[in-house]
């Protein structure tokens, strides 16, 4: 039995171990840096909404969901939560080996190549607000740096179509770093449309969408795939037929 309140997103799949949802643009994945448990639990986030859902209105229930990965507030699309800490840890420990993520993005400017790869070491600024590419870390720099360590990020993409001075691309992540797609395309001179944070002009939304998530189930071992319909401005008739 589901709780009486209506969730503001679709549940694409659910079993005893995972929940897969279609997260809308504008919804936080998890709480921001607020103090106090009650303040964190009061924030409107996908995590809190799903906690209410799995508790089925029973305030004393210990049921909850665990983060497996994140989507930025401005990014829509497929994302997954675990229903136990063990499942969450199983995914997080082997994320790149057991998952495949495909995004749809519209970027500023016209990309001349049909496909390409961005690869760099990404590091968060000291305040955690932005991310940037940095030189490959040495052992000495790792010891001297008090910030979070730089991590290798690989972004593969292919051009789908062009329109009004923008390019629609399909993006395959080979790592899962914070703001990875946004940083790589911005540093290449083609920020995601609407991504003011990384140098784009203001638009009606951030034109970035998690289109597909494929993963190996931690217990059955079967590969499962789920997709979320591309929102307006990110559709591609030919690609969406496949």
Residues 74-87: pLDDT tens digits? 999 999 999 999 99
In a domain, 226, yes or no: no
125 is known as an active-site residue: no
Task: Look at residue 98 and tell me whether its pLDDT is greater than 50.
Answer: yes
In a domain, 222, yes or no: no
Pair 196, 132 in one domain: yes
In a domain, 165, yes or no: yes
Pair 26, 112 in one domain: no
Pair 82, 148 in one domain: no
In a domain, 88, yes or no: yes
Pair 2, 71 in one domain: yes
Task: Look at residue 146 and tell me whether its pLDDT is greater than 60.
Answer: no
In a domain, 189, yes or no: yes
Give the CATH number for residue 208: 3.30.2350.10
The reported pTM is 0.88
3-state helix/strand/coil string of the chain? CCCCCCCCCEEEEECCCEEEEEECCCCECCCCCCCCHHHHHHCCEHHHHHHHHHHCCCCCCCCCCEECCCCCCCCEEEEEEECCHHHHHHHHHCHHHHEEEEEEEEEECCCCCCEEEEEEEEEECCCCCCEEEECCCCHHHHHHCCCCCCEEEEEEEEEEEEECCEEEEEEEECCCCCCHHHHHHHHCCCCECCCHHHCCCCCCCCCEEEEEEEEECCCCCCEEEEECCCCCCCCCCCHHHC
Pair 117, 151 in one domain: yes
The total number of structural domains that make up the chain: 2
Pair 89, 104 in one domain: no
Report the pLDDT value the prediction gives residue 3, as an integer from 0 to 100: 43
The residue annotated as part of the active site, out of 72, 86, 125, 127, is 72
Pair 88, 107 in one domain: no
Given pLDDT bands bounded at 50, 70 and 90, which one contains residue 154?
very high
Q: Which domain holds residue 59?
A: 1-93
Pair 6, 78 in one domain: yes
């Amino acid at each position: 039995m589901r709780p009486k309140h209506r969730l503001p997103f679709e549940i694409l799949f659910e079993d005893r171990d995972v929940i897969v949802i279609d997260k809308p643009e504008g919804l936080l994945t998890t709480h921001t840096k607020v103090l106090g448990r009650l303040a964190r639990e009061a924030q409107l986030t996908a995590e809190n909404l799903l906690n209410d859902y799995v508790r089925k209105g029973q305030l004393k229930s210990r049921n909850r969901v665990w983060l497996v990965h994140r989507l930025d507030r401005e990014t829509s699309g497929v994302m997954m939560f675990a229903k136990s800490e063990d499942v969450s840890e199983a995914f997080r420990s082997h994320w790149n080996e057991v998952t495949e993520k495909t995004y749809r993005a519209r970027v500023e400017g016209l990309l001349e190549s049909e496909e390409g790869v961005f690869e760099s070491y990404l590091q968060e600024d000291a305040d955690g607000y932005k991310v940037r590419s940095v030189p490959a870390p040495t052992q000495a720099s790792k010891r001297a740096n008090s910030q979070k360590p730089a991590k290798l990020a690989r972004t593969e993409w292919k051009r789908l179509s062009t329109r009004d001075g923008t390019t629609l691309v399909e993006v395959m992540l080979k790592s899962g770093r914070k703001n990875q797609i946004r940083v790589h395309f911005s540093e290449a001179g083609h920020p995601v449309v609407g991504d003011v944070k990384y140098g784009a002009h203001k638009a009606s939304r951030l034109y970035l969408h998690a289109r597909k998530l494929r993963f190996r189930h931690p217990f059955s071992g079967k590969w499962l795939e789920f997709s979320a319909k591309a929102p307006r401005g990110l559709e591609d008739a030919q690609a969406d037929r496949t």
